[in-house]
Amino acid sequence: MEQERGPEGGAEAEAEAEAAGDEGEPEAKKRRLLCVEFASVASCDPAVAQCYLAENDWEMERALNSYFEPLAEESAAESRPDTPSGPKTYVDLTSEDATDSTSSKSSTSENTQQEDGSMFSFITWNIDGLDLNNLQERARGVCSYLALYSPDVIFLQEVIPPYYSYLKKRASNYEMITGCKEGYFTAIMLKKSRVKLKSQEVIPFPSTKMMRNLLCVHVSVSENELYLMTSHLESTRGHAEERMNQLKMVLKKIQEAPESATVIFAGDTNLRDLEVTKCGGLPNNILDVWEFLGKPKHCQYTWDTQMNSNLGISATCKLRFDRIFFRAAAEEGHIIPRSLDLLGLEKLDCGRFPSDHWGLLCNLDIIL
């Protein structure tokens, strides 16, 4: 079992444990999440949400009551921050010029290394859309990786509506399916030239406190039937019980897929190894791809505050939050995981990485 944290001791270890307990999310990121939830409920701009939450000690119920409370006097109404009626002002990712969009499209269409049908590839990445700082440059960085590797499927977590619109424009050769349309959500992108969508399904997590669900699609690739799934399981150590319940739902859904199909789940699980053990481990017919490939050290930690400075956490936290589960079709050998690599390791011109998570690029062989 890999270590969850670095080998520091004393007070530093305590700080590190506290940081790891928050999914490495400092107070700032927790507050961003609250802002998105508030904005989704109130149908307002996140900047407005931040004002009301800050004025009410970041207590969601108090802030919402304050926002919706009828204002008796016009002067009081004038003191309320205006909700923009036009495009959201906090971020406009769709203002790229046409050249950018065209170049992205051409670079992906020209990458035909997988079109012979003998390979299949996908990327899974928590793109941290809740962090609005440098979001346009970070989104461009993510799209550069997508264009470079031209995967057949892309699993994304922490997508927000402006990011979704940007991806729809920049990656028009992909079909996008989302787990929701408001707040923040997951998405699966399917390369139109390679992957045929047959059906889709969103399975709610009934007791989530963080707007989480399981997104599933049924597709065919090179005459192979696949069920593809992604999720962003409940965050922070304090929500381990809910996260384990969500994992059980994911594993149950994987097992329910027809035996003739290959099943791939890829997403931000927020899992610690002990939690998987407490759930009884993975069923015998479901693989953790990283373990199956021999636990390669170069792609062990997808959330690493020592290497990734986006969140500004001083303590060192190294965790394997992003995981891939694989269930082969009953007739073995049709699709086999071959390699796994990290993405997003280079800093952008703004001095930050595309996300606080590394992405995972997985290549698989298709036996024709």
Residues annotated catalytic, as ranges: 268
Residue whose pair of structure tokens reads 């507050």 in the numeric block: 31
DSSP, collapsed to helix, strand or coil, labels residue 309 as coil
CA distance 340 to 357: 15
List Cβ neighbours of 57 (8 Å cut-off, separation of 6 or more): none
β-bridge partners, 76: none
Q: Where would I find the beta strands (DSSP E) of 153-194?
A: 153-159, 174-178, 185-191
List Cβ neighbours of 24 (8 Å cut-off, separation of 6 or more): 303, 305, 311, 313, 317, 319, 356
Residue whose pair of structure tokens reads 């170069």 in the numeric block: 298
In the chain, what's the furthest Cα-to-Cα distance? 73
Residue whose pair of structure tokens reads 């004393």 in the numeric block: 10
Instruction: Specify the amino acid at residue 126.
Output: N
* Tokens matching residue 26: 């400092």
CB 257 within 8 A of CB 227: yes
- CA angle, 68 as apex, 236 and 212 as ends, to 5°? 25
* Tokens matching residue 8: 């520091």
* Tokens matching residue 279: 């759930």
Nearest to 301 by CA among 261, 336, 278, 272: 272
The CB-side HSE value for 100 (13 A sphere, CA atoms) comes to 16
Nearest to 188 by CA among 140, 123, 142, 94: 123
* Tokens matching residue 292: 């199956």
Burial state string for 210-240 with b = 16 or more CB within 10 A and e = fewer than 16: bbbbbbbbbbebbebbbbbbbbbbbbbbebb
